[in-house]
Structure formats: structure tokens, C-alpha cells
């Protein structure tokens, strides 16, 4: 696994024509990727085979936005990690705040999903983050600790093939990213947390997500302990997503 990533979460957006234009546009912007910075895009599940084809030979990985905690059985509407692996998925988002908010997912269930992803030999991208009320009440670090404690209680601390994505809920889709001071403070806290847990997880990539775009990417990417971005709306614009990727490359150069 690499140390730095830029990942695009397309959420519930896209269709055959738009996906084609988006990936072709991205490949035109970035004819080659830097070997030190990975890129993944997470389309809506029905389009995963299409996006696998469109990205063939590009170095761009394909991720999924969610997964079942179960491997198979009578779970209508679910997708298993093994099935995602079967169609070439490499990364799976788990615990996105929109899953927590709109689908009632909790940290224990999210940890079981992460375990299912690991069990299938894929990499979970575990999303954590506080609400505005929690931040204003001074609970940010307690909330993040609870979310990570729940994760490691299930997946253990000897697996280095996990990506952590810090996405403050109040910065998602609002156009207002966290400040560089807030991001640096949380990412340093998260790095300390991981370092205390075990040597295997000490170096997990920690991505920032929440209104990251072409204009603010360079200042965010330059922060210590920021290992990349999980991008929503800006990932739907090839030039902007490419600019974020280039900012990450510049931060390691
Ligand atoms: P935005 O970049 O649109 O704020 O979304 C961030 C996000 O939720 C990525 O998972």
C-alpha cells in the first residue's frame, strides 16, 4: 500500500455518459500518475465495471462507497466485499458520515464492515469525524477516539492495510473546509493515537475530506500528517480533481 492517496467519492451521482467524460477528462489531465501518490475513484456500484474499463492501464484504482458486513446470504440489497473484489475493486469506503446520518450506521457496525473488507483482501477507507455540535462542545477528540477504538476492537491493531479518512461532518458538502489549523490539530492527534496503538497502524495514511478543492488543496496537502484527500464534489470535475492530485504530488516532492 502507498502512503499518500487522493480518492474521489462520487456519492449518488453519475451515469454512463458522465462517467465516461469524467474519466476520459481525468486521463487527459493526468496522462501518468506519480508512483508515490495513489488515486482511486468510487463510483455508484452499478458503474463499477464501466469505470474499471475506463480506467484500465491508467493506474487509477476503483473503490466502492459501502459494503455489507456479511459475506453472503439473505441480505437483500447488500453487496459483499468478496463480490466487490471479484469485479476489481481495491478500496471500500466504510462509515461515511452520510451512512452514519441517513442509514443509522454506528461505529460497531462500521468496524464489522471494515473487517469484512479486510477479510476479502481489500483496503477499507474508514471515515471518522465529528458533528458541529460535538466540535462546539469540545468533544472532537473524544468522538474520534470512540470511533477508532470501536474500529480497532474489531479489526485489531496488526493490520497496516487500512486508510483513515478524517471528515468533519460540518465541512462535508458545505463549501467550507476545516481551517489548516483545525486539520493539523486533528491529524496530529490521530497520528499520536495510531502511534500509541501499535507499530503496524502507526503509519496508516490519514486523508482529509470536507470541501477540499483545487484552491485549498496545496495548503492542506502541505500539513504534517495529512496523507491525501477524500474528495466529494470536486472529484466530479476532472481539472479540479487533477489539481488536487498535483498538489499532493507537490507535497511529497
Ligand atoms: P465534499 O468534498 O463535497 O465536501 O465531500 C467530501 C466527502 O464527503 C468525501 O467523502
Question: What's the CATH number where 103 sits?
Answer: 3.20.20.70
pLDDT band at 233 (very low <50, low <70, confident <90, very high): very high
Q: Is the Cβ atom of 233 under 6 angstroms away from ligand 1?
A: yes
- Please give the distance, rounded to the nearest whole angstrom, from the Cα atom of residue 125 to the centre of ligand 1: 14
DSSP track, 124-168? EEEEE---HHHHHTT-HHHHHHHHHHHHHHHH-S-----EEEE--
Give domain status of residue 127, yes or no.
yes
User: Mean pLDDT in the chain?
Assistant: 97
Phi, psi of 164 (to 5 degrees): -105, 135
Give domain status of residue 241, yes or no.
no
Q: Which residues contact 162 (CB under 8 A, 6 or more apart)?
A: 114, 118, 123, 124, 126, 155, 201, 204
C-alpha cell at 131: 458533528
pLDDT band at 226 (very low <50, low <70, confident <90, very high): very high
Atom of ligand 1 nearest to the CA of 93: 10
- Please give the distance, rounded to the nearest whole angstrom, from the Cα atom of residue 74 to the centre of ligand 1: 32
Q: Is the Cβ atom of 212 under 6 angstroms away from ligand 1?
A: yes
> Average pLDDT, stretch 27-51?
98
CB 80 within 8 A of CB 116: yes
Q: Answer whether 0.85 is exceeded by the pTM.
A: yes
Nearest CA to ligand 1 atom 5: 232
pLDDT over 70, % of the chain: 100
Give domain status of residue 136, yes or no.
yes
Q: What per-residue confidence (pLDDT) applies to 176?
A: 87
Q: What is the pLDDT of residues 112-144, one digit of tens each?
A: 999 999 999 999 999 999 999 999 999 999 999
Domain range holding 114?
A: 4-71+82-177+189-206
- How many domains does one find in the chain? 1
Nearest CA to ligand 1 atom 2: 232
Q: What per-residue confidence (pLDDT) applies to 128?
A: 98
Angle (CA) 119 81 150, round 5°: 60
Q: What per-residue confidence (pLDDT) applies to 253?
A: 77
Answer whether residue 224 shows pLDDT above 80: yes
Q: Is the Cβ atom of 225 under 6 angstroms away from ligand 1?
A: no
Atom of ligand 1 nearest to the CA of 213: 2
Q: What is the pLDDT of residues 54-111, one digit of tens each?
A: 999 999 999 999 999 999 999 999 999 999 999 999 999 999 999 999 999 999 999 9
- Please give the distance, rounded to the nearest whole angstrom, from the Cα atom of residue 167 to the centre of ligand 1: 8
Amino acid at each position: 500500500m502507498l502512503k499518500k492517496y487522493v480518492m474521489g467519492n462520487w456519492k449518488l451521482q453519475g451515469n454512463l455518459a458522465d462517467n465516461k467524460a469524467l474519466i476520459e477528462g481525468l486521463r487527459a489531465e493526468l496522462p501518468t500518475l506519480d508512483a508515490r501518490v495513489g488515486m482511486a475513484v468510487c463510483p455508484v456500484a452499478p458503474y463499477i465495471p464501466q469505470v474499471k474499463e475506463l480506467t484500465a492501464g491508467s493506474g487509477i484504482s476503483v473503490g466502492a462507497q459501502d459494503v455489507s458486513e456479511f459475506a453472503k446470504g439473505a441480505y437483500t440489497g447488500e453487496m459483499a466485499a468478496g463480490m466487490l473484489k471479484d469485479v476489481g475493486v481495491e478500496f471500500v469506503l466504510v462509515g461515511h458520515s452520510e451512512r452514519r446520518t441517513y442509514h443509522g450506521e454506528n461505529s460497531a457496525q462500521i468496524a464489522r464492515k471494515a473487517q469484512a473488507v479486510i477479510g476479502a483482501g481489500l483496503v477499507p477507507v474508514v471515515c471518522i469525524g465529528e458533528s458541529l455540535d460535538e466540535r462546539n462542545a469540545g468533544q472532537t477528540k473524544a468522538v474520534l477516539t470512540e470511533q477508532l477504538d470501536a474500529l480497532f476492537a474489531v479489526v485489531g491493531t496488526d493490520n497496516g492495510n487500512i486508510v483513515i479518512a478524517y471528515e468533519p461532518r460540518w465541512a462535508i458538502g458545505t463549501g467550507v473546509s476545516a481551517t489548516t489549523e483545525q486539520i493539523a490539530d486533528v491529524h496530529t492527534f490521530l497520528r499520536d493515537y495510531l502511534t500509541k496503538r501499535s507499530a503496524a497502524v502507526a503509519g496508516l495514511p490519514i486523508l482529509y475530506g470536507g470541501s477540499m478543492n483545487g484552491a485549498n488543496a496545496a495548503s492542506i496537502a502541505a500539513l504534517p500528517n495529512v496523507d491525501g484527500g477524500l474528495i466529494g464534489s470536486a472529484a466530479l470535475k476532472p481539472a479540479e480533481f487533477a489539481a488536487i492530485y498535483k498538489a499532493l504530488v507537490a507535497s511529497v516532492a
